[in-house]
Amino acid sequence: MTLKLRCDDYGFECEFILDGEKTVGLIEKLRNHFEEEHGIDYTMEAVTQMITNRGHSLESIRK
């Protein structure tokens, strides 16, 4: 199953979009984007919580 992560869905005025398999690697790419482009160093747990708060199941994210 795929997941589309849009930076602007997480409170940033940014057009960055990730689209791919629901994996920890995809979440890591979003976390890296937040740090590199917006200067915010979220933990993986924080980014995962942000994604689940938007209605995505934690169980469906593959390791």
**Number of domains composing the chain:** 1
CA dist., res. 8 & res. 61, Å (int): 21
Q: What is the pLDDT of residues 20-57, one digit of tens each?
A: 988 889 999 999 999 999 999 999 999 999 988 988 88
22-34 core/surface letters (b: 16 or more CB in 10 A; e: else): beeebbebbbebb
Domain extent for 48: 2-60
Calpha distance 57→48 (Å, rounded): 10
Residue 2: the pLDDT is 82
Per-residue model confidence (pLDDT) at position 27:
92
